[in-house]
Amino acid sequence: MFFLEYEDCYLNLRKAIYKLKNKCLNIHNLNKTEKKNFEKNQKDIYCYFNGEIINIEINNEGIFIIIDFSSLTEKKINFSKRMINSSLVVITNNSFSDYLLSVVSYNPYIEKKLVEKNGESGRKYKLDMLQIPKEPRYRIKFEVINLSNESFGFMLANKNNLQLFESKSYFQTYIHILNRLQNLVIKQLPFEEEIVKVNFDNLEIDNPDNIFIYNDNLINPKNNIFPDSFINNLDESQLEAIKHCLTSKLALIQGPP
């Protein structure tokens, strides 16, 4: 489960980078049309080039880098879906010999819209600190997430000609799931027999003749006895789902919205 979740974020990034590397190409040596088509033909990623590390900041919250970059197209970028906080971005050098993993820490273009809309002085001060460059150059603040000696080496050795690959899968929602999966204590996991050991031999509950009470009404699922409120408001498949739940240790129910 951990690697399935992990691959949701990384698979398409890896495919795009591999595609370029396998053909001994990088975004910088594609022509204008090829750049435009490359991102268009990729699945669930955004791409940027001419990345330049403007500043490196180290504090008690982590390591942050400010990068200027260009879009693959001359069209102005709409940041309503791109580079939102905690988006996963893989930064590589020109030869794909080195990589840096990061998440978006601060997007001044989203902040700018909020300032224009609400005119908040605190936000404006933070916005002025980053000094947005003139388009078509863009500036975003990233937090480095793979902290290691190699990460510091990357930042010192690769100041220019960086390529940025952004996953459209919202990484922030995955972080909590991935952390929880890593910290699971298997022996305390509900349905360990079925989920971990994949044993589906004994799914029927110990006593399927049990009588259940719902709003003072008796339910006997084995004999298809349900209260009138169920029969009048639920269709046959819904009643079958309830019966399945009450007579099985484990029940999976799919119901489209």
What is the chain's alpha carbon radius of gyration, rounded to the nearest angstrom?
A: 26
Q: Where are the beta strands (DSSP E) in the chain?
A: 45-59, 62-71, 88-92, 99-106, 137-144, 162-167, 212-214, 217-219
The pLDDT tens digits for 14-51 are: 999 999 999 999 999 999 899 989 988 988 999 999 99
Reported pTM: 0.72
Which of 73-82, 117-126, 133-142, 157-166 comes out lowest in average pLDDT?
A: 117-126
The pLDDT tens digits for 56-104 are: 999 998 999 999 999 998 788 888 889 999 999 999 999 999 999 999 9
